Structure 1
């Protein structure tokens, strides 16, 4: 069961990271496009700014699961280094519960915010509902829950190995 969950977690975290990278590439490409249209062609594309902003929001919320999975998001390095192994496992559990509580709030209020934003439209893209921009919070939160639980089952301390 644990191995199946960790396989699912690897797939979902990898997918969310690939999507976050795609959002970063989209934002960078549209930024270059916006510079060319504004300063070279002197006819700015207003819609690019809106898409850049929301692709960066999606990038952040889809990148968070990888940070949780690597143990780099909620970090208590000094306590972890000074603690004996039994206390470390307790510390892992407490950090996991705190992170799950935070992500639960993000999912709950993010979904509520997305539903309330259905009636709004994006400036520059009047046919697109703000629901799609706000949906980044609950979607990223759901991916983060899987990453948090994956880190609890199979802890990775990648930030500790590079710290000096």
Structure 2
């Protein structure tokens, strides 16, 4: 039974690391695209004197994606803000707080998936005014981030639960 649990956790860990790497690579590509679009926008505005009407909108939607992909990476690395004193002063209390934090992240992620999917589906027929980007694309960042956060928080929850059981 313990060996099966370890195999499951090892596989789950590889999945979470893969999602993390995918999110970081996609965020880096988006950030590079934002910088390139910004440079093009500056060039066209001041050199060609024919500003791009779609650049600002495209960069805004890219920033939305970078933010949500960064939230996945922050959840995987446990880099969200927290107070360290309760974790350091009492190990058992720290494990219980980790368990509670992971459970809260799971609930938040479920809301992101549910509400984000509803928002993306509601925007299926719409296009952005200048860039003509399907509006479901920027909205899709929310449920996708929810799925990534859910996977990472689920792994954190299982690890924290295992540590609480080990302390007993």
Q: TM-score, normalised by structure 1?
A: 0.86
**1:37 lines up with 2:44 in the alignment:** yes
Aligned partners of 1:122 and 1:130 also within 8 Å: yes
1:147 aligns with one of 122, 130, 152? 152
Q: Structure 2 vs 1, CA of residues 154 and 26 (structure 1 numbering), >3 Å: closer, same or farther?
A: farther
1:7-86 superposed matches below 5 A:
7-82=14-89, 84-86=90-92
1:106 aligns with one of 96, 104, 112? 112
Q: Using CA pairs under 8 Å that are at least 6 residues apart, name the structure with larger relative contact order, 1 or 2.
A: 1
The number of equivalent residue pairs is 153
Structure 2 unmatched ranges of 5 or more: 1-7, 161-168
Q: Which residue in the other structure is 2:123 paired with?
A: 117
Greater share of strand residues, 1 or 2? 1
Superposed displacement of residue 23, structure 1: 0.9
> Quick one: distance in 1 between partners of 2:100 and 2:79?
15
> Quick one: distance in 2 between partners of 1:29 and 1:78?
43
CA RMSD across the alignment? 1.6
> Quick one: distance in 1 between partners of 2:92 and 2:63?
40
Structure 1 unmatched ranges of 5 or more: 156-164
Aligned partner of residue 129 in structure 1, secondary structure: coil
Q: TM-score, normalised by structure 2?
A: 0.84
1:131 aligns with one of 116, 131, 136? 136
